[in-house]
Amino acid sequence: MGATDPGARVEAGALACDGLTIRFGDFTALADVTLSLAPNRIHAVCGQNGAGKTSFARACAGLIAPAAGRITIGGKTLAAGHVAAARAAGVELVHQSFALPPSFTIAEAMEFGLTGRMGALYTRGGLQKRWASHLQALGVEAKPSARIRDLPVETQQAVEIARALAGQARILILDEPTAVLAPGAAEALFARLRRLRDSGVTILIILHKIREVLAVADTVTVLRGGRLVEGPEEASGVTADRLARSIIGAAPAAIARQDEDLGALVGAALPHGTRQGHAAPAKMVAAVAGVSTRAGADGQSLAGVDLTVGAGEILGIAGVEGNGQRPLVEALAGLVPLAGGSVSLDGSDVTGLSLAERRRRGLRIIPFERNTEGLSLSSPLWENFAARELLGRSALSLIDPGALRREAEAAFKTWDVRFGSVDNPARSLSGGNAQKVILAREIDAEARLIVLAQPTRGLDLGATAFVWHAMREARGRGLGLILISSDLDELFDISDRVVVLQGGRVAGRFAPPYDLAAVGAAMVGGSH
């Protein structure tokens, strides 16, 4: 592998894909994407979370086999789903989270990182000498003898990039490289990428901050909901405003949607809630006052968030994912210690109370992850359904499994769940039906506040409409609802008010009619 000197990358290849479709089970992550990227340029691919960006990158790097379509590198079709094939074609992916072994020195990581060279004896000095010039040429300012874990994150990233370029990489794919960087470090990264481009590398960079896209990209491609919205377009001809619009998606169709249409879609299983012009609610159901949390494992935190939800009100929480949505739900649930502030339910302070106690007072949660947090997939359906009720009893209280099975059956029928038997594991249900099981469990007569975290993600249109319908019906009964969603169409359609979270803070509060541009600006954090 003598290609450590950049001159060996003689011919920079373009990357193209034709009808690229990626599916995970029923979920389509990428649908029929056709595009071609010119060589020696920096191409940005942007979109919200769940838009299909990462799937696209991983397919190009051979990590995912597409369900349909093909990828060509430099005119040659790439064997689908083989990392080795992609690597041989000169494609290297720098992951969102780094893959270098923390205990290795830089030189060791360069030599053994992912190149798969095994078995030969080596000396430390030899390794360090071998890689010193390569690192220097790429402007990595760290000793080859330094350990990966001791490096600052931007240097780790630089080493990761250098590692990717150790072979014959002609196309470098970076998956949200700025997510881990401090703002200043991002500019250094961009400078590095420009130098690479000038030396003949084609760069595909995945970003979701508009500011950064405009700062670094030569062309821009936008994905939304797994589809190609536009691009690749010359970045010089794109404004921040237009980019925000195409990333977030316009919502005019959603605003026109009526309950009657939804009723037809759902089959009118439940009485309709009524949507009036929103008046200030008579009674508060929940209040979050000045709540702050420390950064969790995912780096998210809240900083002084104030929210209120009234009876018969749906409060929408908008925001680019990872801006405090999860800590907000955890703070409401009492599953994360607060660094400050208070949470109250129905006027009484519940800040110090456990989730069990909060649930007793009417808190209900439809968590982010349906299949891990919402359901136990390998447990029978009736146990999944009974869990909430059983937690309200003392542990040693006797139960009648027959009666619990019948209760679950009856509830599932009311909620139109398609299931075989309540003894079947939850795994046997489709996504929409699984969500209905959770709704059936969480929206009961004693519920007061329902927190729904991405309740329609991955659901088809019918199931989505069902969830919306259930929310409207709950609102009609005077419950308070908090809807966290990354789908602005959904939020605008159903929310009585929308609050934007950005960087763990409330970045804007909006009432209908919603101004898409203003909400979008608040979400992306002052790109306007």
Partner 1 sequence: MRARLLTVGRAIAFVALALVLCGAIFEAAGFSAPDMFSAIIDGAFLSDGALVHDLRWACPLFVSATGVVIAFRCGYFNVGTQGQFYLGGIGAAVAVAALRGVPDVLVMVAAIILGIVFGALWAFWPGWLRIRSGTDEVITTLMGNFIAGLLLVWVTSGPLKDPSGSGQVTASRPVPIGVRISTDTGVSPIIIGLTVAVGVLVWVLVNRTAFGVLGGLAGRNPVMVTWQGARLSRLGLGAFMLSGGTAGLAGAMEVLGPDGRLVSGFSPAHGFTAVLIALVANLSVSGSVIVALFFGGLASASLYLPVIAGLPSAAIDMVNAAIALFITSRAWPTRLPWLRARR
What is the binding site for partner 1 (CB under 8 A)?
Answer: 333, 335, 354-359, 365, 367, 369, 372-379, 383-384, 386-388, 390-391, 393-401, 404, 423
User: 56 or 385: whose CB is closer to partner 1?
Assistant: 385
Helix orientation angle between 153-164 and 124-137, rounded to the nearest 10 degrees = 90
Spatial contact of 241 and 437, defined as CB atoms under 8 Å apart: no
Beta bridge partners of 344: 287, 349
Query: To the nearest whole angstrom, how small is the minimum distance from the Cβ of residue 333 to partner 1?
Result: 7
Distance CA 502, CA 496 (A): 20
Spatial contact of 159 and 110, defined as CB atoms under 8 Å apart: yes
Query: To the nearest whole angstrom, how small is the minimum distance from the Cβ of residue 414 to partner 1?
Result: 21
Distance CA 522, CA 524 (A): 6
User: 56 or 368: whose CB is closer to partner 1?
Assistant: 368
User: 399 or 517: whose CB is closer to partner 1?
Assistant: 399
User: 183 or 337: whose CB is closer to partner 1?
Assistant: 337
Residue 258 has, within 13 A of its CA and on its CB side, a CA count of 3
Query: To the nearest whole angstrom, how small is the minimum distance from the Cβ of residue 385 to partner 1?
Result: 11
User: 384 or 485: whose CB is closer to partner 1?
Assistant: 384
Query: To the nearest whole angstrom, how small is the minimum distance from the Cβ of residue 116 to partner 1?
Result: 25
User: 77 or 372: whose CB is closer to partner 1?
Assistant: 372
Distance CA 166, CA 161 (A): 9
User: 236 or 424: whose CB is closer to partner 1?
Assistant: 424
Query: To the nearest whole angstrom, how small is the minimum distance from the Cβ of residue 287 to partner 1?
Result: 20
Query: To the nearest whole angstrom, how small is the minimum distance from the Cβ of residue 514 to partner 1?
Result: 31
Distance CA 381, CA 103 (A): 45
Query: To the nearest whole angstrom, how small is the minimum distance from the Cβ of residue 212 to partner 1?
Result: 34
Sequential DSSP letters for 109-134: HHHHTTT---S----HHHHHHHHHHH
Residue 484 three-state SS: strand
Phi, then psi, of 42 in degrees rounded to 5: -105, 115
Distance CA 391, CA 355 (A): 10
